[in-house]
Structure 1
Amino acid sequence: MKGLVITSKGIEDIAALEVKELIDADCKIEDCAVSFDFRNFEDLCMLCYKCQSADRVLHLIGEFEFEDFFGELERFMEKIMFDKWTSKCRKFRVECIRIGNHAFKSVDAGAKTAELLLKKDKSKNLGMRDYGIIFFVYIVHKKCYFGIDFAGFELNKRAYKIFLHSSSLRGTIAYALLREAGFEKKDSLLDPFSRDGVIAIEAALYASGFPVNYYKKEKFAFLKFSFIKSEKFFENADKKIAKPKTEIYSFDHLFKYVDYSRKNAKIAGIDKQINFSRVELEWLDIKFRKEAVGRIVTNLPSSKNANLDKIYNEFFYQAEFILKKGGAMALITKVPEFVKKHAEKHNFSLAKERRVWSGEQEL
């Protein structure tokens, strides 16, 4: 059986790594997605529940490339068999996400898919609220994936993100940044520009094995499938939650954002696993002894109103003192020339640079 995890452009390799860790499946990296073989449907449930890099999790029924989308869609729908799914429900819903430039809209693709599904099985009805299954159409440029959405909602939207900073990262992007830094469950971690705490929260979720969707148990689409023993599944998954062996520090120079971070972490259920404090950038060498921090992961300031040259210089000066030998940093910035300039000045070398998108917007 085939599965598909939809993810952000630029972090597909991180999603593949996470799928391997969670369900021991090797992935094929696609554009904005990874595909894989899975053994049982509980594997997809596990990805819905714990995968921090996923936007959606699908049971992949089929895929096709196209020049004429609607013509190819009709031919595809004629060939595939999905009666074992439609036989389990009277009503279904169709959703569509589209990436790229096309002569049609997502709503048109979804409506045509629904029309073809109803034509193939006249005993069924559409149900936007009362439905038994969600068929999902995912179009990326000239390729279309068709499958069943096991989550039923956007997994990249975090329930804990209530107190927001204007420059807040998506949880999926923050998680990918952590893994890019090589962050492991035993590493100490610092985010000195925490804003609303997303990076530290994602780190604590990963380090503790606390499911990112722990408080969304009742919302999953897979609960509608009678062959999923959901109560036992959640019980087994929650047994793996453990107290992390790492120290995670979430610092900001404004009390307001320290408070935001703490409140969001409490909503996420992992506030006890994070050290929150108001700390000026210039105080980091007082807060930490020399070479005390294993990983520094942060979203660097980029406001035109800030003295970025001064901030970036101070950041790398402090990082040179507190970062362990063999440690690493992963940074998001909109001014990479400042990073390169000050990193070199303070004896850092650029190991890797990557472009990442949040939706269709490059960060």
Structure 2
Amino acid sequence: MFDTDSLLKLAKLTYTSQSVFRILFFLGKFKVHKDLKTTKKEIEKLNIDLKDWIDKDTDLKIECEREGNHDFRSVDTASVLAGIIKKKTGHENFTFKHPDLIIYIYINNNQGYIGIDFAGKNLSKRQYKIFQSRNSIKATLAYSLIRISGFSKNKLLADVFSREGIIPIEAALFTQDYPVNFFTKHELIFTKLKPLKNVDFEDFFKNIDKNIKKTKREIYAVDALLKYVKFSKKNAKIAGVLDAISFSKKEMEWLDLKFDKTEVDCIVSYPVQMTKRRNKKEIKKLYNEFFYQCEYILKDKGKIVLLSKDSKYLEEEGKKYKFKVEKKREVYSGMMKYLVLTFVKE
């Protein structure tokens, strides 16, 4: 949570942010119990004031996301809040389709939060992700890896396991100040909110979009499979950043022909993982070649940021070429646990 002095600042963040799932205007928090009856009493204690947000014609929707073990469902909590609002305000226009306002409930174990949803959708999803691989990662996770690497304008970033291009595309959106909701701006629900009814949103979006920058091709999407190179190009075109990325089909052992010695600032990738079809020997050989190439193409103060389900073989092969793990993080994407490994030259 953070303070803001302007609803338009929240609207701008909703339009441009690459790292969020939801953006809510905070209404209140409550204690969550195992059972619904006691939880309802906690919600009833809240003094939620909606007079600035709804009138009798406002179509209102209530959504709930819940994490943890409880003896009730998310939809039960939404129904409880709807009943409380109806009793306190007399409001009767509740809908599941095309709402003017969404009140969002987020429950995390024994703590609950209620807020006005500024997007009306899951902001971690991207409209450009049409062509996907089996092991696709969320765009918000890809963006986080990019920021961990220290990548910025005028630096060179390479993803050498690019698959469908999520990491390079997010990097291009970042350096170009390209709003991730550029093509879906008029679907964002903040454009319908009562407190913002006098805002000229055409002018609002225009003032943000004028800051989009055209950058040189210093982002590289490299993969050994031609179909993934094609996927990357198609997705980048949909995202509006095709001209900001250089695409290449290259086997790992030929990377030193693609890049000059110590040319690359950041290598950010989700490497191929060990599966039933890829055994330990094959994976170790691939990782060995990867670090051998990185030793040549990465700048002395450059960083490698890798997402992986296991770190053992990456750390073993990295040591052979004097790469050490500067930091290891545990992250979750849904229920999937990953490790984020930051390698630097010793």
Q: 2 CA distance for matches of 1:89 and 1:223? A: 16
Shift of 1:68: 5.0
> TM-score scaled by structure 2?
0.91
2:169 aligned with 1:201 = yes
2:26 aligned with 1:60 = yes
Partner SS state of residue 184, structure 1? coil
Q: 1 CA distance for matches of 2:188 and 2:242? A: 25
- The answer to whether the 8 Å contact 2:32/2:42 transfers is no
The letter for the 2-side match of 1:79 is: L
Q: 2 CA distance for matches of 1:227 and 1:69? A: 43
Unpaired segments ≥5 residues, structure 1: 1-34
Partner SS state of residue 223, structure 1? helix
- The answer to whether the 8 Å contact 1:207/1:246 transfers is no
Q: 2 CA distance for matches of 1:185 and 1:280? A: 27
1:255 is matched with which residue: 226, 231, 245? 226
1:343 is matched with which residue: 318, 324, 327? 318
**Corresponding residue for residue 82 of structure 1:** 50
Partner SS state of residue 354, structure 1? strand
Q: 1 CA distance for matches of 2:324 and 2:2? A: 35
**Corresponding residue for residue 343 of structure 2:** none
2:99 is matched with which residue: 131, 136, 144? 131
**Corresponding residue for residue 240 of structure 1:** 211
- The answer to whether the 8 Å contact 1:90/1:124 transfers is no
My pick for the range that moved more, 314-323 or 95-104, is 95-104
**Corresponding residue for residue 267 of structure 2:** 296
**Corresponding residue for residue 6 of structure 1:** none
Within-5 A mapping of 1:34-45? 35-45=1-11
- The answer to whether the 8 Å contact 1:89/1:132 transfers is no
1:167 is matched with which residue: 135, 144, 158? 135
1:141–1:75 distance in 2 versus 1, CA, 3 Å = closer
C-alpha offsets along residues 219-278 of structure 1, whole Å, 9 cap, x if unaligned? 101111214431121011101101125600000011100000000000000000000010
2:151 is matched with which residue: 169, 177, 183? 183
Identity %: 40
In our comparison, the structure showing a higher alpha carbon Rg is 2
**Corresponding residue for residue 229 of structure 1:** 200
- The answer to whether the 8 Å contact 2:309/2:337 transfers is no
2:230 aligned with 1:264 = no
- The answer to whether the 8 Å contact 2:34/2:70 transfers is no
1:217–1:255 distance in 2 versus 1, CA, 3 Å = same
Partner SS state of residue 118, structure 1? helix
Q: 1 CA distance for matches of 2:261 and 2:70? A: 54
1:84–1:77 distance in 2 versus 1, CA, 3 Å = farther
Shift of 1:69: 6.0
- The answer to whether the 8 Å contact 2:16/2:180 transfers is yes
Within-5 A mapping of 1:296-335? 296-304=267-275, 305-306=277-278, 307-335=282-310
> TM-score scaled by structure 1?
0.87
1:76–1:105 distance in 2 versus 1, CA, 3 Å = closer
Partner SS state of residue 362, structure 1? strand
1:276–1:222 distance in 2 versus 1, CA, 3 Å = same
- The answer to whether the 8 Å contact 2:34/2:69 transfers is no
Q: 1 CA distance for matches of 2:111 and 2:78? A: 15
1:328–1:89 distance in 2 versus 1, CA, 3 Å = farther
C-alpha offsets along residues 173-198 of structure 1, whole Å, 9 cap, x if unaligned? 00001011111122100000100000
My pick for the range that moved more, 198-207 or 137-146, is 137-146
Q: 1 CA distance for matches of 2:24 and 2:56? A: 17
The letter for the 1-side match of 2:267 is: I
Unpaired segments ≥5 residues, structure 2: 339-346
Shift of 1:89: 4.6
Count of equivalent residues: 329
- The answer to whether the 8 Å contact 1:174/1:202 transfers is yes
**Corresponding residue for residue 50 of structure 1:** 16
1:53–1:89 distance in 2 versus 1, CA, 3 Å = farther
